Amino acid sequence: MELVGVADIAPTLSVRALKERGMPYAFFSALPENQNLFDEAEIPVSGMFADLISSVDIMLDATSAGIGAKNKVLYERHGKRAVFQGGEKDDVADVFFHGYANYEKGVGKQFLKLTSCNTTGLIRAVDCIDREVGVEKVAITIIRRVADPGDYHRGLTNALEVEPAPSHQAVDLMTIMPHVNATGILVHTPVTHGHIITVLITPIKSVSREDVISFLRGHLRIRMVKIADGFRGNASLFRYARDLGNPRGDMYEIAAWEESVVLSGKDIMFAINIPQEAVVTPENIDAIRAACSMQQSRLDGVARTNEYLGIGAWK
């Protein structure tokens, strides 16, 4: 794969940072009437959005919700494939896609839509258990970061906010894994580095706590961590990623706390951390592989992505 270029509508901080880095990727303007803004900021522009579309095999559309649906018309006109971010409506794509849960359904399809960051990590964990012992139902509570780092539009708050149940993540999980009954509650919290989800699973087959830990530990996109080792919460994991030297402090894996794994009768409960800025990156690459028919099977596709990104190398 080759990243041909990136596009934006204005000289945002991200675009200005690219310029300061020597513009490592060709940059394209997605809004011609803003060309004067790029000129004033001395941002080199390689062409317009249509030029970028004509130069690629597949687009990764990370625009704000609703814009991707409008861009789809351009992709159709140029006969291009596209992957849309999780905030778009489901009908924008041929398949609501997750690399581990339904890879084969995306093979050869023109338009795929990814799941949100929370849903991506949640499905990794539920799918992991489901493939081992089967899952009857899931109940989740999401402690959700209120905004990404640097986003001021949410305001400065000192409050928690509860959304009506069920949360869209539970509904989305059922869309991709229709054999699982899921529900959930979401709570917004005034933090920026990561979400935490508590997961309550009713398995089809009885399972021990040790089995659950083993299942989660065996998944390359899940890190088993311990509170006793210093992983006390989302900030610990973000700092750990920075200390690893990961670009932007990104971590592609979700983390599951070993001490959180408990049984209640037949039910399994545990907590996972979702690094929202990076967690969907592997699934984006899975989606490219599927849509472009680079690999036909789930195991082959996700394995190549994991190897390319170095996921699981630490195990």
Considering the candidates 117, 170, 241, 302, report the single residue annotated as catalytic. 117
Catalytic-residue membership of 292: no
Residue 98: HSE in the Cβ half-sphere, 13 Å Cα cutoff: 26
22: left (phi over 0), alpha (psi -120 to 50) or beta: left
| Alpha carbons 63 and 71: distance in angstroms, whole number | 9
| Alpha carbons 126 and 132: distance in angstroms, whole number | 10
- Please enumerate, by residue number, every residue annotated as part of a binding site: 8
- Please enumerate, by residue number, every residue annotated as part of a binding site for NAD(+): 8
Q: Give percent helix, percent strand, percent coil of the chain, each to the nearest 5.
A: 40, 25, 35
Strand 161-162 with 111-114, pairing: unpaired
276 CB burial (10 A radius; 0-12, 13-18, 19+): buried
| Alpha carbons 30 and 39: distance in angstroms, whole number | 14
| Alpha carbons 173 and 142: distance in angstroms, whole number | 14
CA dihedral 149, 274, 250, 57 (to 10 degrees): -100
Contacts of 103 by beta carbon, 8 Å cutoff, 6+ apart:
97, 286, 290, 297, 298, 301, 302
- Phi, psi (rounded to 5 degrees) for 171: -65, -45
DSSP-derived secondary structure for 42-55: T----EEHHHHHHH
Residues carrying an active site annotation: 117
